[in-house]
Amino acid sequence: MIYEHRTYQIQAGKAGEFLKIYETEGVGIITRYAKLIGCWTKETGVLNSVVFIWAYDDFAHRTAQRQKLAQDQEWAAFSPKILPFLVHQESIFLTPVAFSPLK
């Protein structure tokens, strides 16, 4: 199992609006292709940021699932709605160690 730690920096004052659109229109689409572990807002560090953690079996699974997502017509219609909110985005991949509860 691998985890994608994806951070979106949102325009100041727009995180609530971004999250509402993502919750009502986007999460139902992307969860067809990835398992949502959690979503958080940041209170320290780079502010106005939203963090998602998505789970995949491995990198090959993630690649295949992202390709399927990119071909999903509902996702293609949804993603332009969130792009204007984004200042920066970053993905970091995490691999759990043997004693991690999330493996």
* Averaged pLDDT, 47-57: 97
- Does the pLDDT value for residue 103 go beyond 90? no
Domain boundaries, the chain: 2-94
Q: What is the pLDDT of residues 82-96, one digit of tens each?
A: 999 999 999 999 999
Q: What is the mean pLDDT of residues 48-61?
A: 97
Q: By C-alpha distance, which of 8, 10, 9, 6 is closest to 34?
A: 6
Q: Phi/psi at 58 (nearest 5 deg)?
A: -165, -175
Check if the beta carbon of residue 55 is closer than 8 Å to that of residue 3.
Answer: yes
List the end-to-end C-alpha distance of the chain, in Å, as a whole number: 6
Note the helical H segments in 1-103: 15-21, 27-30, 59-71, 73-82
Please, what is the average pLDDT of the chain? 96
Portion of the chain with pLDDT greater than 70, in percent: 100
How far is the C-alpha of 4 from the C-alpha of 13, rounded, in Å?
25
How much is the average pLDDT of 69-78?
A: 97
In the predicted structure, residue 19 carries a pLDDT above the cut 90: yes
pLDDT of 68 higher than 90: yes
CATH no., domain 2-94:
3.30.70.100
Q: How many Cβ atoms from other residues are within 10 Å of residue 59's Cβ?
A: 12
pLDDT of residue 102: 87
